[in-house]
Copies of this chain bind each other. A is one copy, B any other.
Amino acid sequence: MTSSRDEFALLDETWSSVEPPAARRMLIAAAAAFSVRGYHATTTRDIAAQAGMSPAAVYIHYRSKEELLFQISRVGHATSLSVLTAVSDADPVVRLTSAVRAFASWHAEFHTTARVVQYELTALTPEHLAEVVVLRRRIEAAVREMISAGVDAGAFDVPDVRGATLAVLSLCIDVARWYQPSGRRTPEQIGDLYADLVLRMLGAPTTP
């Protein structure tokens, strides 16, 4: 299965810094399983089997199944935040365009991680959720500031900045739900499409 191998190669890219290798294999197996079946439908035996180890091996590297989820969610949120804020162009229009392109295409390319990040929040303990919510607020603030900067520069025509922020974020995040690697669009094409749609939504002068 080629697509399955690609899948795991991409997950490996995201989690390459996790050591030791057995702990990384567990995380990758858990992310793949949580993404497809959901946290509650995934058993620790599933994860261990996918990682090629016994069920008890999970608990050598992680305190609980929930801690596995938390690590995926924490690193996933941090990664998506850094993807969003990596652009530092002076022009607010260019900055937002690049940010949306990168953020949307990340949710496609890394949809396995992104699905866990976006749709398994309710399975986290209150303490872990609180930690992740801090990152989510920073993601929202980053988008809002980029839109605000464009409005202040006279580049955008937005009557409701909070509402526009909500919509832009919502649009990008939902990519993780519907994206399929077998679909007709590549992550890059999705990024380009969404960057254009967002500029229109924000009333930026059309660049022909």
Contacts and interface: CB of A to CB of B under 8 A. Distances in A.
Nearest to A170: B174
A157 B119 CA distance: 34
A29 interface: no
A197 interface: yes
Contact of A194 (B167, B175, B178, B184): B167
Assembly of this chain: how many copies? 2
Q: Is the interface of A mostly helix, strand, loop or mixed?
A: helix
Interface residues of A, number: 32
B119 A119 contact: yes
Given A163-B197, A167-B171, 17 more contacts: A38-B122, A38-B123, A119-B119, A119-B177, A166-B178, A167-B194, A167-B197, A170-B171, A170-B175, A170-B177, A170-B178, A171-B171, A171-B174, A200-B201, A200-B202, A200-B203, A201-B201
